[in-house]
């Protein structure tokens, strides 16, 4: 099988490494890729958001399977262009990708499906923000109702901060969504979906805020771990039954059946799971941890979804133990990151590249905010954390920062339902 992975982040590097472990995969390509993907695949300088460009590349290399990593190409219809060209693709149509591209659409689908989620209100005019804020709080959840790479959400007890973000989103050209605050620990559950067939992967927990102890602004994700020792037995099955299957069925009923990876972000409260958000693709950095524990060949898994045979797939097999991923971020991230700094040690085992490229001298340098992610695996969470941070110590990048507490609260037993 020749496989082409679309994207340039740590998620795509993890997908390529997973595919490389599959003996049925004989050739790997990435578009556009990064300095790390170049060590396992052939990189191609192609506009990942252009359906015509991706189709042309897939035909040129004879791709048997195209895997679309990021949300933007999906919302732009790249999967549709590939399907129209008769090329097998893992990723939903543009219409189905609205489950992430439009939070208002997602809320409407959940309401019709009877799925628990936060109360929400869309605001399109800055003049209406104050009155809308009066109907929420004392903790405000303010979301950019568009694609914001995981950084369009502000959760705050500070009304002025909530108002400032809401007005900034509207003045930036997007509606803003105000939501009631959902209490309880959060869970990321990735599910393979083919119409109404749903197969869950291992549950994970992301760490969105930039600083230890969940301090500071939201980022695209500073680290994650899987599985979740505090999650009750049967909760994954409950999430599938009460949340993902009803949403998948509702989308089929609307004529926008989902094919790909449906990511449910949930808060687990006293009454069970409530949806915080849906994404239409693998999440980053959770993917790096989850795929590290997947024993079933990844090409077989993704191909089953792309070819409409997910219902026939054998139950997934997983390695025992835990996996932890820690993100090393560039100076000033999540603000405007400094780029061009030389990275050393990034060719070590367990290091997945995201914001990297090779300069004219052949050095690996930073080219984005989240530069690399480092995965550790162990018999339990403590061992996995120790290995991840040990590997991180071998990397140098001037001005870089990372969280030192990824998975620590779960290791210490401080997360309880």
pLDDT in tens, the chain (417 residues): 999 999 999 999 999 999 999 999 999 999 999 999 999 999 999 999 999 999 999 999 999 999 999 999 999 999 999 999 999 999 999 999 999 998 889 999 999 999 999 998 999 999 999 999 999 989 999 988 876 655 578 899 999 999 999 999 999 999 999 999 998 999 999 999 999 999 999 999 999 999 999 999 989 999 999 999 999 999 999 999 999 999 999 999 999 999 999 999 999 999 999 999 999 999 999 999 999 999 999 999 999 999 999 999 999 999 999 999 999 999 999 999 999 999 999 999 999 999 999 999 999 999 999 999 999 999 999 999 999 999 999 999 999 999 999 999 999 999 988
Which pLDDT belongs to residue 104? Answer: 84
Q: Are 331 and 337 spatial neighbours (Cβ–Cβ below 8 Å)?
A: yes
**Superfamily name and number for 183-312:** ATP-grasp fold, B domain (3.30.470.20)
- What is the rounded distance in angstroms from the CA atom of residue 228 to the CA atom of residue 407? 9
* CB contact burial 89-122 (16+ within 10 A = b; e otherwise): bbbbbbbbbbbbbbbebbbebbeebebbbbebbb
Tell me which residue of 45, 79, 36, 97 sits closest to 302, measured CA to CA: 79
Which pLDDT belongs to residue 149? Answer: 55
CATH 3.30.1490.20, the chain: domain bounds:
120-179
CATH 3.30.470.20, the chain: domain bounds:
183-312
Which pLDDT belongs to residue 147? Answer: 66
| Class of domain 120-179 as given by CATH | alpha beta
Q: Of the CATH numbers 3.30.420.40, 3.40.80.10, 3.90.600.10, 3.90.1150.10, which one belongs to the domain with range 322-411?
A: 3.90.600.10
Which pLDDT belongs to residue 331? Answer: 97
> The tokens of 39 are what?
């060590």
Does this model's pTM top 0.85? My answer is: yes
CATH 3.40.50.20, the chain: domain bounds:
2-90
Which pLDDT belongs to residue 153? Answer: 85
Which pLDDT belongs to residue 150? Answer: 53
Q: Are 162 and 154 spatial neighbours (Cβ–Cβ below 8 Å)?
A: yes
Q: Are 92 and 259 spatial neighbours (Cβ–Cβ below 8 Å)?
A: yes
> The tokens of 310 are what?
């997910």
State the residue for tokens 């740590």. 10
Quick one: fold of 2-90?
Rossmann fold (3.40.50)
């Amino acid at each position: 099988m020749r496989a082409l992975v679309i994207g340039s982040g740590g998620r795509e590097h993890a997908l390529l490494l997973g595919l490389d472990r599959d003996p049925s995969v004989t050739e790997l390509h990435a578009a556009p890729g990064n300095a790390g993907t170049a060590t396992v695949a052939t990189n191609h300088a192609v506009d990942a958001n252009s359906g015509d460009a991706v189709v042309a590349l897939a035909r040129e290399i004879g791709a048997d399977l195209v895997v679309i990593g990021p949300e933007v190409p999906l919302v732009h219809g790249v999967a549709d262009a590939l399907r129209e060209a008769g090329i097998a693709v893992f990723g939903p149509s543009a219409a189905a990708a609205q489950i992430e591209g439009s939070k208002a659409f997602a809320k409407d689908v959940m309401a019709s499906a009877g799925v628990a989620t936060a109360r929400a209100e869309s605001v399109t005019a800055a003049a209406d923000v104050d009155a809308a804020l009066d109907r929420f709080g004392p903790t405000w959840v303010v979301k950019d109702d568009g694609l914001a790479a995981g950084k369009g959400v502000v959760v705050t007890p500070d009304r002025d901060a909530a108002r400032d973000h809401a007005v900034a989103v509207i003045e930036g050209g997007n509606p803003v969504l105000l939501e009631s605050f959902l209490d309880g620990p959060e869970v990321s559950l990735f599910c393979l979906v083919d119409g109404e067939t749903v197969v869950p992967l291992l549950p994970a927990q992301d760490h969105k805020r930039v600083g230890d102890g969940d301090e500071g602004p939201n980022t695209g994700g500073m680290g994650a771990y899987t599985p979740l020792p505090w999650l009750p037995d049967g909760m994954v099955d409950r999430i599938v039954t009460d949340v993902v299957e009803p949403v998948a069925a509702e989308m089929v009923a609307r004529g926008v059946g989902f094919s790909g990876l449906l990511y449910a972000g949930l808060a687990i409260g006293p009454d069970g799971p409530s949806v915080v958000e849906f994404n239409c693709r693998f999440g980053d950095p959770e993917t790096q941890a989850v795929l590290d524990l997947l024993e079933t060949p990844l090409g077989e898994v993704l191909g089953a979804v792309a070819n409409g045979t997910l219902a026939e797939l054998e139950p997934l097999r997983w390695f025992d133990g835990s996996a932890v991923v820690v993100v090393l971020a560039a100076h000033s991230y999540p603000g405007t990151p400094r780029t061009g700094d030389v990275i050393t040690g990034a060719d070590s085992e367990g290091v997945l590249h995201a914001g990297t490229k090779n300069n004219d001298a052949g050095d690996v340098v930073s080219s984005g905010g989240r530069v690399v992610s480092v995965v550790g695996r162990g018999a339990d969470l403590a061992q996995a954390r120790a290995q991840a941070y040990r590997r991180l110590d071998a990397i140098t990048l001037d001005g870089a920062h990372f969280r030192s507490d990824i998975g620590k609260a779960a290791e210490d037993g401080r997360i309880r339902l």
